[in-house]
Amino acid sequence: MSVAPWWVNWLAMVCLMTAVSAPMWLLMQSDSDTRGWLFFIVKVTAFSVGLATMFALIQQPVRRSFATALAGLNRVQRRQAATAISRGDIPRDPAVLSAAVRLATIALGVQRRAPSWAKWFQRISPILFLAFAVGDFINDKNRHALAYTVFAVLLLVSVLWSEHVRHRTQSRVDLLNSAASAAGAAPPHSAADYPALMSGRKQVLIAVAIGLTTAIFAAAVTYFADQPNRTLKRDCVNAVHGIYYFTEHKEMIDGPTILPNGPSLSAYQDWSDEINRYAAPIPEGDIGVSMHRVASLSKQALNLVRDARNDPDAPQAKTTERQINYYKIINQMYDETHQVLQACDGVFH
């Protein structure tokens, strides 16, 4: 048992929860999760802080009983009394011995007064998570299965440790009581020795309140942290639509079609306008620069078509030159679209 201030115990609980939960969350995280380490840190921190806070609040009645049992002792005596309930020599100081008896009695009383459903769930939970692990192994979800297996082992260790602590505390209670009776330092037992646990209804309300608070906090942080990803996805959606419109109109990207017998000039105009419409809202960046370049090149292609249509009697050499230049523009547009697709790779997974 620790006699440290509540916030020290709370901080230690947060660190313990983080150390246990971080590997679990990491194993459960999907390979396609693109939200990065910030989301992972927020998730683990919110879970650890929320759970530690819930435990700290639920344990307040017990801590008050411990504080009452240690009242009147100095720091060294409190530490001696706390140590005596689990190990070490029997205290010789009657005040310390009396406090140790009360502490051990309280600790044992808390374990005995735990709800039967809580004891049952603690014992059955390792089997439950082991069943989850077997199911995931069968479905080839090996990382999830490993996470469940590790968690089941941790729960089993927790159950065995709780049983060990209970038997050890009972032995120490008997030993301390015998020593206190022999020394005439046995304290009278009262209701304070067996503190009333927080009601189940109040525990549920605290759990719900903390769960909602941590969920809202985690959701808010995640929302703002994920803003760049949402912006990237939106830009990639516009870019992909623009690229699709460019590449799907095969009649527009074949050199000979710029001649008067090809698609109408208005069709080319619509083609260029649509590409520019998709590129316009994309800001400058890896995607924006390339898409704006594609849009600009589509206008150059439109101008070449317009020149060819306005000069139908141009010499063959001039017509061939225009067709070659059109091919070059189209190839440049393809090069730029490759840059866009590389920048958007994995965004839609």
Q: Which of 272, 276, 293, 278 lies closest to 236, judged by CA?
A: 278
Instruction: Kindly state the tokens that stand for 38.
Output: 């910030």
pLDDT of residue 274: 92
pLDDT along the chain (349 residues), means of 10: 71 84 72 60 80 80 80 86 84 85 82 72 85 87 83 87 86 84 62 55 70 70 64 85 87 71 87 91 85 92 88 84 89 91 75
3-class DSSP state of 215: helix
Structure-token pair, residue 291: 């898409």
Give residue 345's pLDDT: 80
Give 45's contacts (C-beta < 8 A, 6+ positions apart): 18
Does residue 270 sit in helix, strand or coil? helix
Cα–Cα distance for residue pair 166/108, rounded to 1 Å: 7
So what's the pLDDT on residue 185? 61
- pLDDT given for residue 202 in this prediction: 67
Q: CB–CB of 283/340 below 8 Å?
A: no
Q: How many CB atoms lie within 10 A of CB 141?
A: 16
Q: Is the pTM of this model over 0.85?
A: no
Task: Calculate ∠ Cα 228-44-231, nearest 5°.
Answer: 10
Q: Mind listing the pLDDT tens digit for each residue in 143-170?
A: 878 888 888 888 899 889 888 888 888 8
What whole-number distance in Å separates Cα of residue 25 and Cα of residue 209? Answer: 23
| Two structure tokens written together for 273 | 């306008």
Query: At 286, which amino acid appears?
Result: D
Smallest CA-to-CA distance from 296 within 320, 332, 348 is with 332
Residue-level pLDDT at 299: 93
Which residues are CB-contacts of 332 (< 8 A; sequence separation ≥ 6)?
A: 293, 297
Which pLDDT score is estimated for 300?
92
pLDDT digits (tens, 9 = 90+) for 117-137: 777 877 888 898 889 889 888
> Per-residue DSSP letters for 276-344?
HHHHTTSPSSHHHHHHHHHHHHHHHHHHHHHHHHH-TT--HHHHHHHHHHHHHHHHHHHHHHHHHHHHT
Q: Which DSSP string do the residues of 62-95 spell out, in sequence order?
A: HHHHHHHHTTT--HHHHHHHHHHTTSSPPP-SHH
pLDDT in the model for residue 32: 47
